[in-house]
Structure 1
């Protein structure tokens, strides 16, 4: 199977999954709590913060949290959907091959990776390693989530790949340390961590 194409993410897609309250997968209050958690944790760890990349930024729900917790920080939204780029002014690009001259202090990648084939997923995880020099937040549903009944399949896009969690972890562990809660820290980030703050590989 091929990865999702740009044509999937048109106005009808966002109407269903974001704007229609009956079928939306977005809970604004949940997004606020999540943003507060990730930003507060990285601030607690004293990860230097000047540049943030939200890759697959959607309608930009992370922008408010980043601005609130890191005033003055540069937020850069990148999105595959030409519809959203035109509507919100994001830069068009893909997590698989997006490049920037300078790495970011925080990379956010929420709900994007399950749309990729295994081949493209590996490329994307390698690319995320290049893009981040600090924190990373990743949210991606795995096959285990479906097996355990955690996923509401009536609301979830049926076209998602059901990769195993180990596939994501293997790709990320080449460049990051897992801190829990979807938060990872780049091996290039020289902040001291206690042994029990990191998941052991």
Structure 2
């Protein structure tokens, strides 16, 4: 099966999942809690955050979060949807093959990877490593999440691929150390970690 078409992510898609309060997957309080957790953990680890990349940035939920916690950092949004790029001015690109002149200190990839086929997912996971020299936040629902019935399927796009969690972990492990909570630390980062801070070991 092929990855999601760019035609999926049109105005109707964002109206359904983001702008209509009755069907929106966006919970402002959740975004605030998540942003506070992720950014506070980066501060705790002393990861210097000067350049931030949100790949698959959508409507820009992370932009204000980053600005509050790291006011001196630059924020760069990359988005696959032509509609959102025109509306918000993001750079058009895909996590599968996006390249940058230099790596970023903090990379965000939220809700993007399950739209990719297995082969494109593996390419994307490998591609995240050269984009990040600091920390990565990844949010992606896995097949286990459906099997354990912890998703609200009325708010979840039924077209998502149901990849196993191990596929995500295996693809990220060469370039990153898993910290838990969706957080990953680049193996390039000069940040000391206690062994028990590494969710799956080194």
Category of TM-score, reference length = shorter chain: over 0.9
Aligned to 1:127: 127
Aligned to 2:23: 23
Following the alignment from structure 2 to structure 1, what is the Cα–Cα distance between the partners of residues 174 and 155?
33
Q: Which runs of 5+ in 1 are unaligned?
A: none
Q: Which runs of 5+ in 2 are unaligned?
A: none
User: Residues 14-38 of structure 1: CA distance to partner in whole angstroms, max 9, x if unpaired?
Assistant: 0000000111111011001101110
Aligned to 1:37: 37
Following the alignment from structure 2 to structure 1, what is the Cα–Cα distance between the partners of residues 14 and 200?
38
Aligned length, in residue pairs: 201
Aligned to 2:91: 91
Ranges of 4+ aligned residues in structure 1 off by more than 2 Å: none
User: Residues 30-54 of structure 1: CA distance to partner in whole angstroms, max 9, x if unpaired?
Assistant: 0011011101100110001110000
Residue 61 (structure 2) pairs with residue 76 (structure 1): no
TM-score for the superposition, normalised by structure 1: 0.99
Residue 179 (structure 2) pairs with residue 184 (structure 1): no
Following the alignment from structure 2 to structure 1, what is the Cα–Cα distance between the partners of residues 171 and 53?
19
Displacement of 1:200 in angstroms is: 2.7
Displacement of 1:129 in angstroms is: 0.8
Aligned to 2:58: 58
Displacement of 1:195 in angstroms is: 1.1
Following the alignment from structure 2 to structure 1, what is the Cα–Cα distance between the partners of residues 99 and 56?
14
Alignment RMSD (CA, Å): 0.7
TM-score for the superposition, normalised by structure 2: 0.98
Residue 12 of structure 1: SS of its match in structure 2?
Answer: helix
